[in-house]
Amino acid sequence: MTTDTKPTILRPATEFTSSPLNAQIPAGPLEQKWERHKFEMKLVNPANKRKYTIIMVGSGLAGGAGAATLAELGYNVKCFCYQDSPRRAHSIAAQGGINAAKNYRNDGDSVYRLFYDTIKGGDFRAREANVHRLAEVSLNIIDQCVAQGVPFGREYSGYLDNRSFGGAQVSRTFYARGQTGQQLLLGAYQALERQIQLGGVQMFTRTEMIDLVIIDGRARGIVTRDMVSGKIERHIGDAVVLATGGYGNVFYLSTNAKGCNATAIWRAHRRGAFFGNPCYTQIHPTCIPVSGEHQSKLTLMSESLRNDGRVWVPKQQGDTRPPHQIPEGERDYVLERKYPSFGNLAPRDISSRAAKEVCDEGRGVGPGGLGVYLDFADAIKRLGLHVVKERYGNLFEMYERITGEDGYKTPMRIYPAVHYTMGGLWVDYNLMSTIPGLFVAGEANFSDHGANRLGASALMQGLADGYFILPYTIGDYLARGGIVKADTTHTAFGEVEGEAAQNMRRLLEINGKRTVDSFHRELGKIMWDECGMARNDAGLRRALERIPELRAEFWENVKVPGDFNELNQELEKAGRVADFFELAELMCVDALHRTESCGGHFREESQTEEGEALRDDDNFAYVAAWEFQGLGNKPVLHREALNYESVRLATRSYK
């Protein structure tokens, strides 16, 4: 399925020399790379910054923080979001917390430990330099957010409190009850609104990017559609940043908001940006189980609940007794049994597979047997009901509203669901893609998490990229010059706008018999069944046969009502699902080529005797970066070798 830039003789990944990728990793000791790089980067004179315009697509934590900071520095920023307010970015849905190596608990944490936990949590499939920088910058993030007034949880003394999250044996997660993402986003939002009021940021809400414009080999602008009027508009800048989140909605059912989509990054991929590790998707173990065919999305229950909740199932298959009637001796506390060192705070990929395993054995609970219990009885007995309510009250309220069950009195039922994507557009150390001038931030890039993200690290990455990394690296890019003068009358804008308008009109003219949602749901089921929690050769090949067939049917039989120049949500969805079809195929191609198991990518053919992921470091210790070659043509695979200087490749164990 691939055209490969590597010789057919298998060699260790570190020997590859033919890849055109250059990660731009600075020289020097790991702990000095970022500080040295900041000094060596070129600067833009304060008086010259107002001569440059930066386009920011997305207004969540990465985009909102980036837009506000760049405007504060003096750049002109155009910021775009498809919501009616930046406050509605999906970052708001993050619940449990944000990691930082402050070591306030004096429990052995450090920048290096956060770095190592993240590398290990990602199953040794992330860049050392990027991850260490993330751990360093984490210290600044908390100070920034406290200064903004983010109401982090505090101890009785007034000091900032911490809780534990999966994959760590220290308490480094700062939180605001179960609303951490919302509070952090409000901090970024108020900084953004300040710059909007001052004129540094021009905000475009209810506006969707529909394509990227490249002039003289550099990203110079975007073409957008006003989602209320349908008007297509052109915007030019000196650099473009995509901070548009992940692509989990390719599975249809996920914890992502329904509007979350991959259109911005996928259209950039089609224009030449390489796509890194698309098969790396995260299944979150703590979600409310599917309740029926009518559902259009799933609901996350924060990983923080596993601090005090215990995961268990009946020891006997088919035991349908209510949980309070099952004696302690007949319960299997799965994670505590399998991973005693980490217990219920084992990483997400491992915890998800453990839940799937017991359900596949016929020991699952609830309708259809697709669930495990998350029990707080011991925590309530140990801490008191009032403490549990203080820590997680809004989460219990949400659970009761959705399920009608009181999680304080009866164990919650949870089951894994698609939550996050570690894959994304390939970027170098400066967060620039393979298209000069196109930067990618937050979940939209592949950068920091390898094959599995640890809990509470997404917020850390988004704010690190926006507040503390992009302002340096974009300035360096602009200071190096070479950007020609151009405006929106350039022929490149006309060509891109014409293509975009033609594709939308084509969707409207099909006038078939199936809805967009029906195609999306069917695609999602294929992806969940064949490229979900577990993958195998036969299933991936089935998917790669079925997806192109379904895509062809979509372009012949989809019905998109309404018109082009008006509010038309079906047209919006149709464009996004068309992109999901192409992305889904690349995800399966990537998963098929990577015959090892690592992190969230679990190939059934590559597992230990105990059913754990079995890596193949000799042949797969690399980032897979895919180059688009046109629809219907095989993508080209480029490899970026992952060289580890400070950590030793080891079998990941949480036992």
Two tokens, residue 207: 């506006």
Nearest to 623 by CA among 423, 444, 349: 423
How many CB atoms are closer than 10 A to CB 360? 12
Q: How far apart are CA 553 and CA 224, in angstroms?
A: 27
Residues 594, 617: contact at Cβ < 8 Å? Answer: no
- Mind giving me the DSSP string for 238-259? SEEEE-----GGGGSSSSS-TT
* Axis crossing angle, helix 128-148 with helix 180-198, rounded to the nearest 10: 80
Nearest to 514 by CA among 559, 550, 555: 559
Q: How far apart are CA 79 and CA 62, in angstroms?
A: 12
Contact residues for 150 (Cβ-Cβ < 8 A; gap 6+): 176, 183, 184, 186, 187
Two tokens, residue 290: 């599917």
Catalytic member of 220, 225, 348, 576: 348
Contact residues for 330 (Cβ-Cβ < 8 A; gap 6+): 314, 315, 316, 319
3-state secondary structure of 557: helix
- Mind giving me the DSSP string for 592-633? HH--S-BTTB-BTTSB-TTS-B---HHHH-EEEEEE---TTS
How many CB atoms are closer than 10 A to CB 648? 6
Active site residue 514: no
Residues 323, 373: contact at Cβ < 8 Å? Answer: yes
**Which amino acid is present at 153?**
G
Helix (H), strand (E) at residue 571: helix 569-593
How many CB atoms are closer than 10 A to CB 155? 10
Two tokens, residue 273: 């940006």
Helix (H), strand (E) at residue 118: helix 111-121
Q: How far apart are CA 517 and CA 554, in angstroms?
A: 11
Residues 163, 175: contact at Cβ < 8 Å? Answer: yes
3-state secondary structure of 313: strand
Pairing relationship of beta strands 331-332 and 310-314 according to DSSP bridges: antiparallel
Nearest to 585 by CA among 542, 640, 637: 542
Query: Over the Cα atoms of the chain, what is R_g?
Result: 24
Active site amino acids: 348
